[in-house]
Structure 1
Amino acid sequence: MSGSDRAAAPYDFNDDTDWFTPVGGTAVGVVDPHPSFPAGALTITPADVLEVLGPDADDLLASANVDVDELIRLINAETTIMPPLVLPSEEEELNDPQVLVKAASTWKRRFLKGTVAAVLVSISGGGVTAMAMDKSLTVEVDGAMQTVHSYEGTVGEVLAEEGIVVGEHDALSPSLNAPISDGGKISLDRGRLLKMSIDGQAREDWVRSVTVEEAAKQLGVPLEGAWMSAPGTHDVPLEGMSVEVKTRKNIKLFDGANPVREVQTTALTVDELLKSENLSLGPEDAVASGTDVKLATGAEVYISRTGVTVINVNEPVAPPVEKTNDPNMASGQQTVTDPGTPGEQTSTYRVTVKNGKEISREKIGGKITKEPKPKKITVGTKPIPDGEVWDRLAKCEAGGNWAINTGNGYYGGLQFSASTWAANGGTAYAQLPHQATREQQIATATKLRDRAGGTYGAWPGCRAKLGLP
């Protein structure tokens, strides 16, 4: 029970005291107010007392057979000893109403805690009331638990009494203003600043009392197969820490002519990948994307391998040709009298290979190891009458048919084009070559040959075949 519902206490006090002297209201001033204090800052009200007693206020008052008004009058007794009121030392703080209110409120709570307990103990005649006000609490800070005893009524007051300050990044349960009762538990996880570099990307996050691995998982950092600069089981210290993380990446490696490899790596760059795979680059080798490119899952790395080697090759040597003129053999004819024998030589080449394929070969030396035997040819030098030459040429060009017209744009035994025929005066004989006689075609061809310096260059294929000049 409380207030006017509670029966009057059966105490026989001296009338000279003011403990039970009727007053107009039960709110009393406990000390002369400072001129700078807000009005009522040092006044004790029923609400103040009930707050001090906490959720068990009714039971505590009932056990002492006293109500709130009576308790306030007892607190106001002349024998009550009050704690010192600590004010700010700086003048500017003294002029700040909020600072003064806080100082007064702190003083009033300190005063009430001890005074209420003392008064209740004195009038209840034992320690039951004190034991009821004395709460046994479990305080857990970063997983470390301890049991404390306190007369305080809220979480914040208990922590303040224990000298525990809650930071803005800490996690507290229950909240600072939450009431606390006997057997209650207060959990505080202090915030820690974790600085992480994830594949070269920096980030900062506040985490609780966890290990490095737990913090990384909370922050969504992929850790499977990852490399970390600190062990995952390492606790994040209260002062925070820095951790480097290199995540696992799946890439394809194309190394020269070697088969494509799928590689799992934590390397950040191509250069780190080459080192982790024990791969080196020759002076002519190259990486298509460069070695400082950052890697990500799905990347493809192409290494171009260029090698230069010097090799010796055994090769045949063609026999030289020795020609002998025969005045009795028609000009343009020749006969092989001795085919000769090829020789042998060792040739030295500089060979360049790129990605397993030869791209160039340069001969830089050679040595004859077996001399070749010359090939001997007899060449005819006997002049051939013009008519016979033209007949042989017509045989080669048109099968010897001087009147042929295949429709391919070339006509007659010597296969004139219409324009060449006309340019050399052939139209004086006929409109087209195949319409002219053998002699007329030969006469026109002779003009064409003489204009070319006496050579048969107008008929290159048959000229070479027949050995004509």
Structure 2
Amino acid sequence: MYEAQGPDPAYRPPEYEGFDVHSARTLGYGVSGAYDDTYRPAYEAATTPAGAPVGEGAPVGEGVPGGEGVPGGEGVPGGEGMPADVTRDGTGRRGARRRKARYGERTDRPVRRLLPQALVVAFLAGGTTAFVAKDKAIELTVDGKPRTLHTFADDVTELLAQESVEVGAHDVVVPAPGTELASGDEVAVHYGRPVRLTLDGQRHEVWTTAHTVQGALEELGVRAQGAYLSTSRSLPIGRHGLALDVRTERSVTVMADGRTRTVRTNAATVREVVEEAGITLHGQDTTSVPADSFPRDGQTVTVLRIRGSKEVREEAIPYDVERTEDPSLFKGTEVVERAGRPGLRRVTYLLRTVNGVQQKPRRTHSELVREPRTQVVKVGTKPMPTSVHGADHLNWRGLAACESGGRPDAVDPSGTYGGLYQLDSRTWHTLGGTGRPENASAEEQTLRAKKLYVRRGAGPWPHCGARLHG
């Protein structure tokens, strides 16, 4: 039992007396005559080539775990040159068989120990394959700057989130967010840039992903050939955007002095178009459309040659009439207490001819010369009597028909006589009337005529007086 515990460290076989093991020559790995390579992977060391259990029936010179079975005739540290049938304990094969017999029940332990290790290796190998399969090589271009990266993202949205790339409503992502990714795909992010575009006088707020003015014009579909641009076409557009004024080339027809001219222009105003057509405006000359307006494509502009002068005129200002009631006057009677007087205004007019045609005068200035004076009229409110003793039974209707045709406002051709009964102003006033008889009511005229008959009979009507009794 004691011998089975191992060789004595001080023991040296007679063959190695006087030999210094530390001075032995070391042979390089793989050089002829070097030690045989005894390494075997864990999953190969479980059995011998013949399939026999480890340590049993193994040829001399094949190493196994635990140091049993050393190469025949080959030295090992501490026993170089040891015979094949000699073990470290010096007992030879018999000692080895005794140890084997003693520990034979443990010969299956290396197999049990190596089996989990093999499973771990297999598991790691499969996991590595899956790990590699998830990795993708993607070319990501952000605002024109490309870079290649490796990612485990499944789609575009996840990739942008991993790379901290934020996109807004006006940004463009190709392919669209949510698109699945595969190795070798290309993803591009184009940032939107605000552009305050004034196109042919109309202002627009637009967004573009172009990096230059030329690219923005192409993207927005603006016809730039022959156009005026407020900035260079090659000017870069930053993330903050820019203001851009574009005036496209247009065809405008100008008519002046009996001639017609058509010009191609990108002018900003009608006045500039007229100048480009070689036409000069003088004095009050103007155009058929506002000279500062924007010229449109296909528009016709007429030049108006204006010649003008001033004229001063004096104009009457009508007076007002103020009426007041007078109980001393019969109803229907009006007496002018104060005559009205019209005022006077001095007005300046501009007289113009446009292309030789006289225009309606235009008032440019007015000056008050004299204030108008209000006319005051008394209006009678006293009830008019309808009866005059001695004259009520006569045919006054027949007399009126004969003298005036029955018209209260009738006036003879000479202007001397008026009213139903053709009385002159002097006679009318002696009868108490005011003004002209034709201006009085029919009732008052009949009343005054009856009074005249009482005074003078039918004499005042020599031709028609007989009608009073007819």
Assess same fold via TM > 0.5: no
Smaller-chain TM-score bracket = 0.3 to 0.5
- Taking structure 2 as the reference length, the TM-score comes to 0.36
User: Which structure is higher in helix share?
Assistant: 1
Larger radius of gyration: 2
